[in-house]
Amino acid sequence: MKNYKHPNDRGYTNPELFVTTDWLEDNINNPNLQIVDVDSPEEYSIGHIPGSSNPIDNFYKTSLKDRTHIQSPEIFSETMSKLGIDNSTQVICYDRSAGLYAFRLIWALHYHGHKNVKFLDGGFPKWVHEDRKVTTIKPYIESKVFNTKIDTNIFADKNFILKNFDDKSTIILDVRSDDERIGVNLRGGSRGGKIPGSVHIEWKNFHTTGNIPILKSAEEIRKILSEKNITTDKNIITYCQGGIRAAHTFWALKLSGFNNVKNYDGSWREWAEDFSCPIEN
């Protein structure tokens, strides 16, 4: 792949969050490895990396009407257990969406206390581009027991945001599209607009374009953020519509030296539906 840089050469603070396609092919038969295809069941059925499972049909299922917020510890534990993941399992996540859904699952695993999880750099597009083996066969998965231990340090809710409105060291980062931010595209919500005082950078700015999108280097990501006066000493809260794009941006920042980052998991869908929460449009 032309101009491809190994994750170790992109200046990330924790490049160990990544594995390459070479590494995965060499380790694909490791019995302690679970590969998770975090895309739609339709995409998965067309073809996937051998041995990978597909949880997307229940991964976001909660008691909430919008079905996008983080699962409860009990439901998440059950979901991971059915995927053959316990607390010693090394999880490899990939998708076909520039890491959008894979980074969401990685964030969710970290939130529930499981740090032994990695992202397949380049995802399924890079795997296919390199003519590696693809299958339509669903693997047999033996259930295990996954126990959760919540890490609240990477999570924000609306009350946390309301408490930190006047904190000059805290930046609320809106990573939605322009149409969502100005209220043209409500995406089924009751109100359009933005959280007052939030800074806007769409999540797509943090990865390359083309058929095989790759997360940009730490230097490039810091430059994008510095243009909006966002520096590594700030406390950052990312938000989008339902915490998915915000989770992708969470990792873009964490990999680039921003240590104090939280994902507002409820995001605009929760904020807009609570009419006591202020908005700008």
Q: Which CATH class is domain 152-273?
A: alpha beta
Residues 6+ apart with CB under 8 A from 225: 201, 231, 253, 256, 258
Per-residue pLDDT of the chain (281 residues; tens, 9 = 90+): 778 999 999 999 999 999 999 999 999 999 999 999 999 999 999 999 999 999 865 565 555 555 457 888 999 999 999 999 999 999 999 999 999 999 999 999 999 999 999 999 999 999 999 999 999 999 999 999 999 999 999 999 999 999 999 899 999 999 999 999 998 888 877 899 999 999 999 999 999 999 999 999 999 999 999 999 999 999 999 999 999 999 999 999 999 999 999 999 999 999 999 999 999 98
Dist. CA 155–CA 261, nearest whole Å: 9
Range list for CATH 3.40.250.10 in the chain: 7-129, 152-273
- CATH fold of 7-129 reads Oxidized Rhodanese; domain 1 (3.40.250)
DSSP state of 63: S
Of 36, 37, 8, the C-alpha closest to 22 is 8
- Show the tokens assigned to 44: 């998965």
Dist. CA 192–CA 271, nearest whole Å: 10
pTM: 0.95
Dist. CA 264–CA 157, nearest whole Å: 6
